[in-house]
Amino acid sequence: MSFAESLGGDSLFERALAELDDATLLGALSAAIIALLNRVLVADHVEPADLERVRETTARVRDTLSLGLERLSGGDVREAALLLARIEVDEIFGVGWSITAAVGRRARELERQAIVDPDLDAMLTPRPLFPRGLDPDPESGERPFRTLADVRTAEAYLTDLASRFPD
């Protein structure tokens, strides 16, 4: 089983990893991803024995890396694979994180205006999440932002919400 397959799901990040066949590069990426994941687990106070939270955090890290790669590569799998070979994983993660952080800042602006909406709550968390109520097949709960399309959906929702509650 490849490292990409062990992550589960079908993200740009995983498709880019699957494009790589250099064992040395894959080993270095694996070590960098594990180090990044460990830092996020510590920052989020996730106990290693809490397997469900470890899985959730792993998925969020994967999706944040995918967001960063999508922004940097324009969504092109081959370009994303080249970027994985040239750019530090932490830098890619930082790009993805900054995208979701911007959504969180915008959501907090609406909260400061005393706008209350159930789909806003997910975006107000310390690590903003995508409200599943905005998915094409809406349901309750939240999930990590997976794509730039998710970000555009959330931004459009926040813009609409702000227009319904002008200052």
Q: What is the C-alpha to C-alpha distance for residues 104 and 122, in angstroms, rounded to an integer?
A: 9
pLDDT tens-place string over residues 98-141: 999 999 999 999 999 998 898 999 999 989 999 999 999 989 99
End-to-end alpha-carbon separation of the chain, Å? 54
In the beta sheet, which residues pair with residue 142?
131
Q: What is the pLDDT of residue 7?
A: 53
Instruction: Tell me the two tokens of residue 85.
Output: 């070979």
Q: Is the pLDDT of residue 1 over 60?
A: no
Average pLDDT over residues 64-87: 96
Q: What is the C-alpha to C-alpha distance for residues 133 and 118, in angstroms, rounded to an integer?
A: 9
Q: Is the pLDDT of residue 166 over 80?
A: no
Q: CB-based burial of residue 18 (10 Å sphere; 0-12 exposed, 13-18 middle, 19+ buried)? A: middle
Strand 130-131 and strand 142-143: the pairing is antiparallel
Q: CB-based burial of residue 156 (10 Å sphere; 0-12 exposed, 13-18 middle, 19+ buried)? A: exposed
Q: What percent of the chain lies above the pLDDT cut of 70?
A: 94
Are residues 20 and 84 in contact, defined by beta-carbon separation less than 8 angstroms? yes
Q: Is the pLDDT of residue 85 over 60?
A: yes
Q: What percent of the chain lies above the pLDDT cut of 90?
A: 84
Q: Is the pLDDT of residue 5 over 80?
A: no
Are residues 96 and 66 in contact, defined by beta-carbon separation less than 8 angstroms? yes
Average pLDDT over residues 70-97: 97
**Banded model confidence at residue 6, pLDDT cuts 50, 70, 90:** very low
Query: What is the pTM for the complete model shown?
Result: 0.88
